Amino acid sequence: MTRDPRYDILFEPVRIGPLVARNRFYQVPHCNGMGYRDASALAAMRGMKAEGGWAVVCTEMVEIHHTADVAPYVELRLWSDQDIPMLARIAGSIHAHGGLAGIELCHSGYTANNLWTREVPIAASPMPTASYFNDPVQARGMDKEDIRNLRRAHRKAALRAREAGFDLIYVYAGHGLGIFQHFLSRATNFRTDEYGGSLANRARLLREVIEDTKDAVGGSCAVPVRIAMHEFQGAAGLEPAEVEDAIAMMAELPDLWDLSLSDWSKDSQTSRFAEEGFQEPHIRGVKKLTSKPVVGVGRYTSPDTMVRVIRQGIMDMIGAARPSIADPFLPRKIEEGRLDDIRECIGCNVCVTHDYTMTPLRCTQNPAMGEEWRRGWHPETIRPREADGHVLIIGAGPAGLEAGRALGQRGYRVTIADKASEPGGRVSRESRLPGLSAWARVRDWRLLQLRKLPNVSLYLESDMSAETAVETGADHILVTTGATWLRQLTGRYFTAPIAFAAACDVLTPDDLMAGKRPGARDVVLFDDDHYYMGGVLAELLVKEDYQVTLVTPAAVASAYTKASLEQKAIQARLLKLGVKIIANQAVAGLFPDHVTLSCVFSGAETALAAGAAVLVTSRQPDDGLWRALVQQGVATSRAGDCFGPGTIAAAVHAGRRFAEEFGLPPRDFLELPFRREVTALS
């Protein structure tokens, strides 16, 4: 297939200072939970992006000094010459596939707690530090000597980055995480000297560091600036008009402007709260201020939208983090005319959650993400089968579809059967809930790929028993029949079952997704799952005119979504819709006209009137068919929620893992199924 001429503009080269990018695809810096701990895995992941056609591939934030320590988060470090070989491996991996390597040098100011180094944090002005854990730490205000030392540290880090082989060396003033943004913003700069007060004064340090970096490495490296266009704090913080004024003051100084929003939750909004291109209103005014290339993001997956923002003069290069994670080969697929092969980002932010949990990056759409080095997986290729074989997969949910697709790609004959009238399993059900329609892409992409594989067949409305499964004559049977939400209080708070006899109308998420509704208008929703499901079901019911009270043992609604950057947005929406939220309480009993609440601190119980209850507690694997097959001595396996209920991303990964490992000799339980990097002691 050949490229559609409409998209030729996306493949024009772009000059960035002394460099030329081969096209307009720019993987902006993004975190990944690997950092200095998993350097080889990180290098392989970045190299995969370059192989997929991204002209520029950048690191995550890189701490420039031991006073920039953001532990426990695992980012990259460039504290000394010892860090150069690790970073050189990353740059080399990008260069091996023709990409330009960018590095985001960062000092996080008052958002670096220095918990590992035990240094006193520094800031534009004295203030408590900002952290996920609200650490009891305060940052001291910087004096003139501190500012001079910060400039020296940044310059030295730039020189080390050039030595490591990087082509683009960032000055970072974005996401509320860069100290140069802290100086620029009235929300964090209360100084009265030449570095505070007027916009020109607040922008002084940013200008000085750009000049320092250009002087140090500008002859051979490009110097981009990543800047926050909006802090969403009203006049107390940065707004687009003021940031545009700051950019105009130094419009031609850097080699590229990389535009973002602040904080990170605004910059990486989920599809539940923002559409593709959501940043455009905040960044569209910058291009007219500078002749230098402008990069922006907006979870772009449509090449038509990419062309539009280029032609409208909003940006010169298409920045992407999450779309490059979902499909590292997005540029090549556009170039080769394979648009239907693009794995579009669903905007769920499961990738972000693993930076917060300090664990390797993963993706719902792309199960190979983070596994390029650890397991040797490739997002586009997989080894061919070693022998002929027929695999029957029972269950066409995310695990079953991915396993069938990958096994089919390997060359096996695959039959997928599902008792439902539509494929997709939980993905189809959940994508009909408020705000989750983009999640259907997980199903749709796999169905499209399956249609291209003549050796894979899909049969719906096929309720398989152990006997009928065996009658197919398959060499191996994979059971991916999912899991069922419990109609019980058993979950994280109450780990043992609690019996209840006479109770109000009790429903589960499965009931609501199947179309059943409470028999009473006053509903208590008990969320002991803490991810998206409780909040989205509360939204569903309140929009249908139910009076909803969300009860949670956590301190906030949908507590885990702090890690996906959407908890505040979820709680704000629920409150606006009229959902009452009762935190730090557990539903301990169910009765015909009320529920009993138990305080998580004191255990004190109170009654709450309710005619119906929705229990979002825990799930039980639907593994009865697998157990029946095992009893018959059939060659069988299970994967996905049927094996261990988890996220959709975990189910997709399980399907890919089964396909990758099928046909290999059995692995001993004591043998690691992946590689890991272990520090060599000197």
Q: Which of the following is catalytic: 26, 36, 172, 532?
A: 172
With residue 649 as reference, give the H or E element that holds it: helix 648-661
DSSP SS3 for 339: helix
With residue 138 as reference, give the H or E element that holds it: strand 138-141
**If you average pLDDT over residues 140-153, what whole number do you get?**
98
Phi and psi dihedrals of 63, rounded to 5? Answer: -65, 125
Residue 664: C-alpha distances to residues 385, 637, 660, 661 (Å) = 10, 14, 9, 6
CA distance 273 to 56: 28
Give the model's pLDDT for residue 483.
98
Contact predicate 424/395, CB 8 Å: no
SS (H, E, C) 225-285: EEEECCCCCHHHCCCHHHHHHHHHHCCCCCCEEEEECCCHHHHCCCCCCCCCCCCHHHHCC
Q: Which of the following is catalytic: 69, 255, 258, 267?
A: 267
Q: Tens digits of per-residue pLDDT, 312-329?
A: 999 999 999 999 999 999
Contact predicate 284/229, CB 8 Å: no
Residue 21: C-alpha distances to residues 221, 256, 335 (Å) = 12, 12, 15
Q: Tens digits of per-residue pLDDT, 153-171?
A: 999 999 999 999 999 999 9
Give the model's pLDDT for residue 300.
96
Q: Choose between 3 and 618: higher pLDDT.
A: 618
Q: Is 195 assigned a catalytic role?
A: no
Q: Kindly tell me if the per-residue pLDDT of 535 is higher than 90.
A: yes
Q: Residue 503 — very low, low, confident or very high, per pLDDT cuts 50/70/90?
A: confident
Q: Kindly tell me if the per-residue pLDDT of 456 is higher than 80.
A: yes
Give the model's pLDDT for residue 623.
97
Q: If you compute the radius of gyration of the chain from its CA atoms, what whole number of angstroms results?
A: 26
Q: Is 522 assigned a catalytic role?
A: no
Give the model's pLDDT for residue 417.
98
Q: Is 345 assigned a catalytic role?
A: no
Q: Which of the following is catalytic: 26, 30, 31, 282?
A: 31
CA distance 174 to 555: 29
Query: What's the burial of 667, exposed, middle or buried (CB within 10 Å: 0-12/13-18/19+)?
Result: exposed
Q: Kindly tell me if the per-residue pLDDT of 465 is higher than 90.
A: yes
Q: Residue 280 — very low, low, confident or very high, per pLDDT cuts 50/70/90?
A: very high
Kindly report the average pLDDT of the chain as a whole number: 96
Q: Kindly tell me if the per-residue pLDDT of 497 is higher than 90.
A: no
Give the model's pLDDT for residue 185.
97
Q: Tens digits of per-residue pLDDT, 575-612?
A: 999 999 999 999 999 999 999 999 999 999 999 999 99
Phi and psi dihedrals of 462, rounded to 5? Answer: -120, 90
Q: Choose between 570 and 496: higher pLDDT.
A: 570
Q: Residue 504 — very low, low, confident or very high, per pLDDT cuts 50/70/90?
A: confident
Q: What is the DSSP pairing of strand 522-527 with strand 612-616?
A: parallel
Give the model's pLDDT for residue 498.
84
* Size of the chain in residues: 682
Helix residue ranges, H only, 345-474 = 350-356, 398-410, 426-430, 441-451, 466-471
Give the model's pLDDT for residue 476.
98
Residue 18: C-alpha distances to residues 79, 224, 356, 362, 661 (Å) = 27, 12, 36, 34, 46
Give the model's pLDDT for residue 680.
78
Q: Tens digits of per-residue pLDDT, 174-222?
A: 999 999 999 999 999 999 999 999 999 999 999 999 999 999 999 999 9
CA distance 34 to 53: 23
102 CB-near residues (< 8 Å, 6+ apart)? 29, 56, 57, 58, 59, 166, 167, 168, 169, 170, 224
Q: Tens digits of per-residue pLDDT, 478-492?
A: 999 999 999 999 999
Q: Kindly tell me if the per-residue pLDDT of 499 is higher than 90.
A: no
Question: b or e along 348-373 (b: 16 or more beta carbons within 10 Å of the residue's beta carbon)?
Answer: bbbbbbbbbeebbbbbbbbbbbbbbb
Neighbours of 451 (CB within 10 A): 11
Q: Kindly tell me if the per-residue pLDDT of 660 is higher than 90.
A: yes
Q: Which of the following is catalytic: 175, 182, 230, 282?
A: 175
Percentage of the chain modeled with pLDDT above 70: 100
**If you average pLDDT over residues 114-120, what whole number do you get?**
97
Q: Is 504 assigned a catalytic role?
A: no
